[in-house]
Structure 1
Amino acid sequence: MPELPEVEALVRFLGERTTGRVVVAADVAAIAALKTFDPPVSALVGRTVTGSARHGKWLDLTLVPDGVPDDVVHLVFHLARGGWVRWSDKASTAIVRPRMGGSGGGRGPALALRLRFDDGSGFDLTEAGTRKSLAVHVVRDPHEVRAIATLGPEPLGEDFTVDVLAGLMAARNQQVKGLLRDQSVIAGIGNAYSDEILHAARTSPFKLTRSFTPDEVARVHTAIGEVLREALATSSGRPAAELKDAKRRGMRVHGRTGQTCEVCGDVVREVSFADRSLQYCATCQTDGQVLADRRMSRLLR
C-alpha cells in the first residue's frame, strides 16, 4: 500500500502533468470503486485541473470549469492495498465498459477509472489482487469524505511536535505499532513505514504507549521525521512507475524477513497476523527477545 512518501510523490507527479489541462473524458470501469454519485463523474469533463493535494494517504485533484472559479469539484481517491496510478502521455481512447463488483476478477491490475486530457495524455487508476478496496470520490469539498475529515495530524507538519505525539500516546494505552498505523491518530503512516520508524527508534512494535518515557517519545518523534523525510527525498521526482521499487529498496526491515539487519547484523524477523505481517530486529528493538511467528503473537514486555 502506498503511504505518505509515495502518495506525496504521486501528488506532485500528477500536479506537474495535469495542472492547466482540461478533462475530455472520465470513464468508470469498476462501478464499486466509485463511492459517490453527486456530483457525477461526468461533472469532471470540461473542467480544468487547477492543483493537486494530499490528505494522509488520499490524493486530491481540484477542477473548475472555464470562467467559473467558484464551481470547484475534487476528484479524491485512495489507492488502498492494490491500487496504482498509471500515467500515459498518449492515453487510450478505447471504450471503457463498466463492471459491477469491483475492479476486476483476477489478480492482475484491472482498470477502475480512466481520465483523459485535452493534450491526449491521461492516467488510469488500476487495482490488483482479489480484495478490491480502491475508493474514488467526486465531491465539492474533500472533507465530505469521512475518512479525510477524521484524519489525525500530518507527521511532517510543523505543528506535529514532541508534545503533540506525547499527548497522542498518552490518550489511550495501546501498542505503539497500532497507534502509528491509525489514520485518525497520525495521517499517512501505514504498515511499512511504522516498521521502519520503530526500527529506527529501537522500539518494540508491541510496547504500550503509556509506558514510554519522555526520552523514548522523543526518539520515536525523531524517527518519524527522519524516516519519512528520507523516503520522501527518495521518491521525489520519480515517475509513478518507479515509486514501488524505490520504496522496497529503501526498507531496512519491512519486507526483509530472513535478511541481515544493516544496523547490527542480526536477522530480520517477522510476526504474521490474519491480513498482514510486521518485520523487526530483535537485537535492535526487543533486547534480543524473539516474537513467536504465529498469528496474534504477543511480545513479553
Structure 2
Amino acid sequence: MEDLVRLATTAILPSSSILFIVKDMANARSGSGLPGPDAKPELPQTSKETREEAQEKEPGSKDVPLQQPSTARYQGSEGTKGLLALGTLASSFQYANSKEINNPEDLGKIGRGDVKFPIDGKYQQTANIYVNETHKLIGTFTGEYDGQCYTISGLSDCFVDTLEGTIKNLKFTDAVITSKKKTTGLVACNVNGTVSDILADNVTISTSGESAYAGIGGGRLEAGGKIANITAVSSHVKTSGFGADAGIGGGEGSRLEERLPTPRR
C-alpha cells in the first residue's frame, strides 16, 4: 500500500485519483465492494420521474444498484482514470531512465567521458546501426544495454571489452573480428556480467596464440558471468594455439544454461 501511494505520488497524479486508488485497494483487500459507513451514496436517491428524465437524455443508460463491486461503482471516476494512468506508468517504467541509442555516433560515446553516456548507464537501442572500422569497443561496461531486437552491423572488434553489467536482445550481422588478443568475442571479450538473447548472423571471429579464447557470447566467461540463449547463423568462430579454445557461447570457462545451436556453415 505504501509503495503504491509512493509510486502514485511520483507520477504526480491528482490527489483525488490517489485517494480513489487507495480506497479501491482497501475495499479489495477487505473483500467488500460496499462503501464505508461514512461514505455518501454515489447515486443520489431520485424520484422515478427524475430517473426517467435522465435516461431520456442518455439513451441506453441503466439504473445501477448501489451494492455493486468496486470496479462498477467507480467506472468513469477519477479513481479509474488514476488507475489507468498508473498502469501506463508501470508498463513504461523500465525505460523511464534509459538513454536511446539509434546511430553510431551516440553508440561510440558510451563510456568516453560524455556525462550523457556514462559507462554505467541504462540504454535502449531504437534503430539498426551500422559501424565502420573506426568504431572502438566500449570499455568495462557496468550498465544495461537492451538492443530491443535491433541490429548492430560491421563490428571489427568486441562490442564491449569487459562486461560487468547486462547486454540483451541484440542482433549482430556482418562482423569480421580478427584478433591476436588473448580473449576476443562478439558481444564481449570478457564476461563477468550477463549476456542473453543474442543472434549472430554472418559473423566471423578468429584469433590465435597460446591460451587464446574466442566466442560469440564472450571470449572468456568469468566466475560471476552468465551467457544464455545465443543463436549463430552462417557464422564461424575459430582459434589456434596451445591451450586455445573457441565456442558459440563462450570460448573459455563457459557454463551455459542450455545447449546452444550449432552454427550453419
When normalised by structure 2's length, the TM-score is: 0.26
When normalised by structure 1's length, the TM-score is: 0.24
Judging by fraction of residues, say which structure has more helix: 1
Q: Which has the higher contact order (CA 8 A, sep 6+)?
A: 1
